[in-house]
Amino acid sequence: MSQVDGIDNLVASRIVLKTSIENSRALASAFDSTGQRLEGMKQRLPSLEAAVRHVPRQKCTFVAIREHIDRAIGPAAAVLKVYDIIQELQKSLLSHPCSDLSTYLLMVKQLEESLKFLADNCRLAIQWLEAILEFLEDNAVHDDLYILNVNKSLSILQELQATDKHARLGGGILCAALDKLEIEFKQILVENRICVVLDSFSSSIRNQASIAPSPLPVAVIQKLQAIVERLDADNRLEKCISTYVEVRCLNTMRSFQALDLDYLNQSFNEFDDVQDVECYVDQWCKHLQLAVKQVFETEYKLCSDVFEKNGPEVWMDCFAKIVTQSGILSFLRFGKKITGCKNDPVKLMKLLDIFSTLDNLRVDFNRLFGGSACIEIQTMTRDLLKGVVNGACEIFWELPIQVELQRRSSPPLDGSVPRLVSFVTDYCNHLLGDDYRPLLTQILTIQQSWKQEKYQEELVTNQIYYIIKQIGLNLDAWSKAHYDLTLSYLFMMNNHCHFCSLKGTNLGGLMGDSWLKAHEQYRDYYMTLYLRESWGKIFASLSQERGFAGDLVKKRLKSFNEEFDHMYQKQSNWVVPCEDLRLKMCKLVVQAYVPVYRSYLQDYGFQAETDASPSRHVKYTTQGLEAMLSSLFQPKLSKSGSTKHNRLIGKIKDIVTDNFRLTLMAV
């Protein structure tokens, strides 16, 4: 036990001990007062017996009254005997239950039985004495002394008969003893308040056993059960449950402190955008599983053990109060907040994560919270599930429309793959993965069943096809937005190359080999067009027929230098993200056109060298030209120096920014 736990237990013990001492003093005072009254009654009881016996011998000649008196004497004598027992018990009950709980419980039970026996015998004796009075009055017996003695005896018995009632009132013998048992019950709970050690990084949360072992030793459970049984017999079960709920709630909340659950109670405005709180959703999924499978499961088992003899209705109601006060509703409200956030692709993923968590906990929820006492939890869970299913389906069906809405945006100026294209293909890959596709299928099936429609197996695949189709239409539109035809070819080459790279992925497998091969052909086709319309035209002037005069050679070299500089300067800002394609293109350019330049210089370069400044005409050496062409299309380094494109779906907000936000209200 930690130092903090030790201090807490000492403080709790001090409070309990102080309360126990005060109650003992009050009990002792009550015992003194009660003892004095009983002692007075005891002293008067022999005179009652003598007076009752004296009546028939001296004043009454009727057989009937003799029978009444004989019957009254038996209960009166029993009252004397049970009084002695009660006196002994009240002395013993001055001790504290913790010294010997089983003996103390036995004495409390004996006290209750003795008080009941006393009241029953008093009632019988009173009935027979009242019958004697009635007989004396009916037979006009006017002996005032005898009648006075009988009335005095009745008064004593009536006062004794009320002993049971007074013992149960505040300050009474039995009430004080039961108060001590309540204090002992709480003390046992406090002393055994062991927090559940929660491991939010456990990889086996989903596979943990559904039914947890009891967190308290068997001997402790038996003590609690015995006290509950005794208190229940005296109509103190509600107070007992209230104490139990109070202590166990504190224990549960202390267990949760290690998880830092403050995010559950943040205001709704902070959840306007799921991308701002997606890390909290991931935490929520882990924390809810920990709460249910470790904390609430433990409380469920303990409630069942402690209040087992009181019936399932009692202990399930007790459990419901603990989980409600401990924060289960806060978990469900948080999930509901997420369903009310703005619709965007990230939200769909997070809703699928929430659904996965709820589905994994479905059996546990039904078992733990299936009773009538947990009706509020059941209602909120159904509302959350409904919001998750409808919200996820709404976003999924709107994805193609939102892709189409981006068609009017501008393509990248460097000819690279638009962020939308890389995002959508990555996004579809995740939706088709083993983690999300079964969940998406399950959600769509549920919504179809709510509509009383049968789920069609091709719903998901058809929707993905439609999304990719919209991406293709966007690319056609964006390629036409490039005023430079050469850049348009490079742009289409890059995007078809991106689709080729999907081979071996979930999306590539769905689209099929023919689709992938078609993109390979389009990639090569646009690469050919690019090479021909860019560097091909520039170097074409150097491969024309031979036999140039010196001035014409100089002029042609000058023109070539200007066109090359312009083309190189323009294309130095263009990008080919795929390294293999970039190397292949540079190699093709070098292999196709550098030999043309080398041959031209070999044939006519000497004519330019006759000039006083030959460098004005032969600006580049063959090696320099090759180096420049080989350095083209390099991706620009980010500030961190990394060129890798982060494709983790958890970092979508860094990829998409504001280019692909679903604004369903605008549709």
The CA distance from 554 to 604, in Å, is 9
> How confident is the model over 191-233, as pLDDT tens digits?
888 777 776 544 445 445 445 556 788 999 999 999 999 888 8
Can you tell me which residue has the tokens 């024309």? 544
Q: Which of 388, 487, 397 is nearest to 446 (CA)?
A: 388
Inform me whether the pLDDT recorded for 396 exceeds 90: yes
**pLDDT of amino acid 154:** 63
Question: Mean pLDDT over residues 493-516, rounded?
Answer: 96
Q: Where are the alpha helices (DSSP H) in 59-100?
A: 63-92
Which DSSP string corresponds to 555-574?
HHHHHHHHHHHHHHHHHTT-
Sign of the dihedral through C-alpha 495, 499, 501, 507: positive
The CA distance from 445 to 443, in Å, is 5
Mean pLDDT of the chain: 78
* 76 confidence band (pLDDT: 50, 70, 90): low
End-to-end CA distance of the chain: 60
Length of the chain: 667
**pLDDT of amino acid 453:** 84
* 605 confidence band (pLDDT: 50, 70, 90): low
**pLDDT of amino acid 276:** 77
Inform me whether the pLDDT recorded for 243 exceeds 90: yes
* 357 confidence band (pLDDT: 50, 70, 90): very high
Predicted TM-score (pTM) of this structure: 0.76
Query: Residues near 506 by Cβ (< 8 Å), separated by ≥ 6?
Result: 428, 429, 432, 433, 437
Lowest mean pLDDT among 119-128, 473-482, 574-583, 604-613: 604-613
* 237 confidence band (pLDDT: 50, 70, 90): very high
**pLDDT of amino acid 138:** 60
Lowest mean pLDDT among 126-135, 404-413, 491-500, 623-632: 126-135
Give the residue, 87 or 638, on which the prediction is more confident: 87
The CA distance from 591 to 633, in Å, is 17
Q: Could you tell me if 358 and 388 are in contact, meaning their C-beta atoms sit under 8 angstroms apart? A: yes
